[in-house]
Amino acid sequence: MSDRRVKHSQEVVTQAKQLFDLGYGHSVLARELGISEYTARNWRDKYRQGQLIGFTDMGRSNKKFSYEVKLAAVLKHLEGVPLPVVMTEFGITTRAMANKWVAAYRVSGPDGLKPKPRGRPPKHAGVETLEQKVARLEFENEALKKLQALVDLQQQGKLKL
């Protein structure tokens, strides 16, 4: 698998639209135009959404979906509705995004679709909870009592250091 993206000419995309208009599927399109099945299937999904022409600029926007939309789309697909139909209905631009949501739902349930915090978590250096502070002060108090007892013993002459 290549990491390089292939940018197809607008002419090839127009030919793809014409073949889809004639009722051809993505497998025939891939063979006829010499493109990958993966690309042909993505173009078919875009065609069904009415977004194929101008496709070379599509899919690059960072469209955000709410938790509710993600959950509704995944549940509809898991009820048996084909993924391309769900994608069209909810305006999901890529099959990979929809598959990612389904996988997250299967692993973590509805919580897997909730937004994750972004960035590095903040460091809480120097900030202690109430329980930590109480434990630290109790420890210091015990240490000071023992130290005071040693000082008292030394002053009484019972302990030589």
What are the CA-CA distances from residue 17 to residues 94, 110, 149 (Å)? 18, 37, 91
Residues above pLDDT 90, as percent of the chain: 30
pLDDT of residue 1: 47
> Rounded CA gap, 114 and 29, in Å?
37
Whether 71 and 94 map to the same domain: the answer is: yes
CATH number at residue 27: 1.10.10
Whether 66 and 106 map to the same domain: the answer is: yes
102-134 pLDDT per residue, tens: 999 999 999 999 988 888 877 776 777 889 899
Whether 18 and 3 map to the same domain: the answer is: yes
Query: Which domain-ending residue is among 19, 39, 60?
Result: 60
Whether residue 55 is contained in a domain is answered as yes
Whether residue 90 is contained in a domain is answered as yes
pLDDT confidence of 159, banded at 50, 70, 90?
A: confident
* Count of structural domains within the chain: 3
CA-nearest of 66, 65, 78 to 109 is 78
- Write the CB contacts of 94 (distance below 8 Å, at least 6 apart in sequence): 42, 45, 59
Whether 161 and 140 map to the same domain: the answer is: yes
Whether residue 5 is contained in a domain is answered as yes
H-type helices in 9-128, by residue range?
10-21, 26-33, 37-48, 67-78, 83-90, 95-108
pLDDT of residue 56: 44
Whether 105 and 142 map to the same domain: the answer is: no
Whether residue 133 is contained in a domain is answered as yes
Inter-residue contact 48 to 89 (CB < 8 Å): no
Domain coverage including residue 53: 1-60
